[in-house]
Structure 1
Amino acid sequence: PSRSSPSFSMAEDPQTQHVDSDALTTEAEAAAPAESSSVDPAIVIPLAPPASAEELEATQRQLDEIRAEVIQTPLVGDKIPFESVACEYDKDASPEFYNKALELCQTYDTIRVIRKDGNCFYRAFLVAQVELILADPDEKARFVSVCKGWKDRLLALGFSDFTTTDFCDTFYEFLDGIVDGGKTWPRIYEETFLDDNNANYLIIFLRLVASGYVKEHEADYAPFIDGERTLTEYCVSEIEQMWVDADHLAITAFVQALGSPIRIEYMDRGAAPDGGWHYEFPEASQQPFSPRINLLYRPGHYDIIYKK
């Protein structure tokens, strides 16, 4: 059965929900939730204060149209040929992206598109990791063991017992269905990854793990928190909060927390941590084996890509 929608983070005051920055490039105050959707990332646009009721209504219509477009996209798409990425760019108007897509076609043959709702990094990782553990019994045992150790670690860090236990147990039930119940990919895909409520409970668990790892290693991460926020404030607003994009710090902590290295290919090299075209988390020198999860980053968004 489908769960009620988890529309909050572990914070007492939920932050603004978010649509990936390539779906919307501007920000404003959160729009009112749409009653028809269980997943409702608030759309935000920085506009001058409306001068009239007509302008306010026009702004709301724009927000509703964007929201409707986002939630019509499946949470997780089917695999499609990677060549489709190159078809999205005009070789004259966007030569850098077009040429990069053609180059990546030499290495990757398919892509799985993820909904642009601010949870795309965590969702892409989860889907790719499940595909991996279905094919690799050793990785299945390792991943399940690591995940099941996190409930006690989170509670020891002071996370709420009631909510933490709920999200952890839900994730563990999901894993048990794969390990003991013999769930196959088609069933997991339909029952979990295409269901907003079930899928987002799992996303919250992953966010808690990333936040917990940052808090466990406060001395390592605190110097990189921008502004005057405390590390706890950063974790609440940037990691635990649903619909917020994963930044470099969150990704670094996340892969360390689960021991699952990933490789990210960047269409925009300016977004890569080292200014290159790809980056491995953790750095290649710090991991015993090459990443088997590959993601494609386009401004503000992550999809899963698969090597030939």
Structure 2
Amino acid sequence: EQEEEMQSISLNCLAYDEAIMAQQDRIQQEIATTNPLVSDRQDLSVLQGEYAAEDAIYQLKIKDLHKKYSHIRKTRPDGNCFYRAFGFAHLESLLDDSKELQRFKAVAAKSKLDLVNQGFTEFTIEDFHNTFMDLIELCEKQQSLGELLSSFNDQSVSDYIVVYLRLLTSGYLQREHVFFQHFIEGGRSVKEFCQQEVEPMSKESDHIHIIALAQALNVSILVEYMDRGEGGTVNNHVFPEGSEPRIFLLYRPGHYDILYK
């Protein structure tokens, strides 16, 4: 009898989870249709309009950001925003940096083999890797920013890039599992953490993901943290520490956008 009861509880939970998921999907869909995956570059002043004039903490922090940055490019808040923001910002920077493009292309080309050697199935990752390489080659042909932007706003291309960046993050975390194990809560192994929090789409990113991707591709990322913390300044963090940042991201609780100086 107890077993039956347990079964019915777990079935109820499942139905409940599915209802929540369906509701979240609807919300995501609404957000999705109103927000491009990656927006045009906008004046940073658009942020002021997003918060009430009397929201003193955020208004002060936006003022602080204005001292260093002039523009912002927004990404859709769908749980994939860190990867999409990073992917776009870095590829955009390659449009006028052929030296970094060649270095990055070589790292990206070799990355598939690294993953296969780690036990990822070549057949499963091939398409994602190909799409990633195609976009790097698009930048190499000195294509316009417009083409890169429209690729990132094509859901299937954009999501393939996100998947591949997630796989690279997972691969790096697992290669360096001895180091990263200390940062994982809840008694999970690094592999479990990757399967639950890194590889699935729409899972949000935290410090650990950013450190891993920055190191996997050897690209330095600066994140400006805009939250409700005290003081009118925005704190930033560079990944890996002490490196010279190429990519600037704005973090607001649960969301990343791209910043431009």
**TM-score over 0.5 (shorter chain):** yes
TM-score by length of 2: 0.87
1:265·1:279 contact (CA, 8 Å) conserved in 2?
Answer: yes
1:126 aligns with 2:126: no
Paired residue secondary structure (2:259)? strand
Tell me what 2:131 maps to. 170
| Unaligned stretches of 5+ residues in structure 2 | 1-15
- CA change 1:30–1:98 in 2 (3 A) is farther
Task: Report the number of matched residues.
Answer: 242
Tell me what 2:9 maps to. none
Residue 82 of structure 1, CA deviation: 0.3
Paired residue secondary structure (2:39)? strand
Match for 1:80 among 32, 42, 52? 42
Match for 1:138 among 99, 108, 115? 99
1:277 aligns with 2:238: no
1:187 aligns with 2:128: no
2:57·2:228 contact (CA, 8 Å) conserved in 1?
Answer: no
The CA RMSD measured in Å over matched residues stands at 1.9
After superposition, the C-alpha distances for 1:6-57 in whole angstroms (9 at most, x for unaligned) are xxxxxxxxxxxxxxxxxxxxxx7245xxxxxxxxxxx64xxxxxxxxxxxxx
Tell me what 1:13 maps to. none
Q: Which amino acid aligns with 1:187?
A: E
Stretches (4+) displaced over 4 A: 62-65
Match for 2:68 among 87, 104, 107? 107
After superposition, the C-alpha distances for 1:80-127 in whole angstroms (9 at most, x for unaligned) are 1101112211242x2111110011112111110100000000000111
- CA change 1:64–1:235 in 2 (3 A) is closer
Instruction: Describe how 1:282-293 pairs up with structure 2 within 5 A.
Output: 282-284=240-242, 287=243, 290-293=244-247
Separation in structure 2 between the aligned mates of residue 83 and residue 99 of structure 1, nearest angstrom: 12
Paired residue secondary structure (1:155)? helix
Residue 184 of structure 1, CA deviation: 2.0
Match for 2:168 among 209, 217, 224? 209
Structure with more helix by fraction:
2
Paired residue secondary structure (1:85)? helix
| Unaligned stretches of 5+ residues in structure 1 | 1-27, 32-42, 45-59
Q: Which amino acid aligns with 1:87?
A: G
- CA change 1:64–1:233 in 2 (3 A) is closer
1:77·1:112 contact (CA, 8 Å) conserved in 2?
Answer: yes
1:83·1:102 contact (CA, 8 Å) conserved in 2?
Answer: no
Separation in structure 1 between the aligned mates of residue 72 and residue 173 of structure 2, nearest angstrom: 30
Tell me what 2:3 maps to. none
- CA change 1:269–1:200 in 2 (3 A) is same
Residue 64 of structure 1, CA deviation: 6.2
Separation in structure 1 between the aligned mates of residue 249 and residue 17 of structure 2, nearest angstrom: 30
Tell me what 1:198 maps to. 157
